[in-house]
Chain A
């Protein structure tokens, strides 16, 4: 069966420090991968998605970047964190067919101080 791992679960970082959040998927090949951010405990904002190694689509211009160095690995990064980067970050995957559900990781709670 497929599983998704996302870490760390919580992170407290000072303003101006770098960020690296990692997400890996097991049990499937060639998944589509996604990073979302959730603020105020409500709706999800799509940040980045990837349909293949090295292929990254950015949805919202901001202080973050994403990379996909391997088929089942998706990394969210920042060189210098801002206070506004605080939030709940969720990684997700789905198989590459039309109309298939996303499967989410447990999320990372990031607090920038």
Chain B
């Protein structure tokens, strides 16, 4: 079965710093999704990547899928307190969507 591993598990950064979160799959990715979750709330969809080498951006968040389609990275530029939360990557698996273990991001002033 497919597994997604995220790193780091948690991240504490100072406001204004850049950061990167990685998601590695045990199998080829045919659809990779990034979500953000604030504590006690549902997941908010950020971006979806499908093609090897694809890159998408939304505001200060950029996500990339590597050429081999087994790893994705999420990069935040000039982090802000509003970026704090749990970031999860998800992957298509037939009718299902499986998720990584998540990365907890804290941003302090």
Contacts and interface: CB of A to CB of B under 8 A. Distances in A.
A43 B100 contact: yes
Contacts of A99: 30-31, 48, 50, 92
Contact of B86 (A6, A32, A41, A103): A41
A43 B88 contact: yes
B101 A101 contact: no
B40 A32 contact: no
A44 B99 CA distance: 6
Interface residues of B, number: 26
Interface string B72-103: 00000000000000101010100111111110
A74 interface: no
Contacts of A2: none
A51 B95 contact: yes
A29 B5 CA distance: 34
Contacts of A92: 43
Interface of A: 6, 32, 34, 36, 41-44, 46, 49, 51, 57, 59, 88, 90, 92, 94, 98-99, 101-107, 109
Interface of B: 30-31, 33, 35, 39-45, 48, 50, 86, 88, 90, 92, 95-102, 104
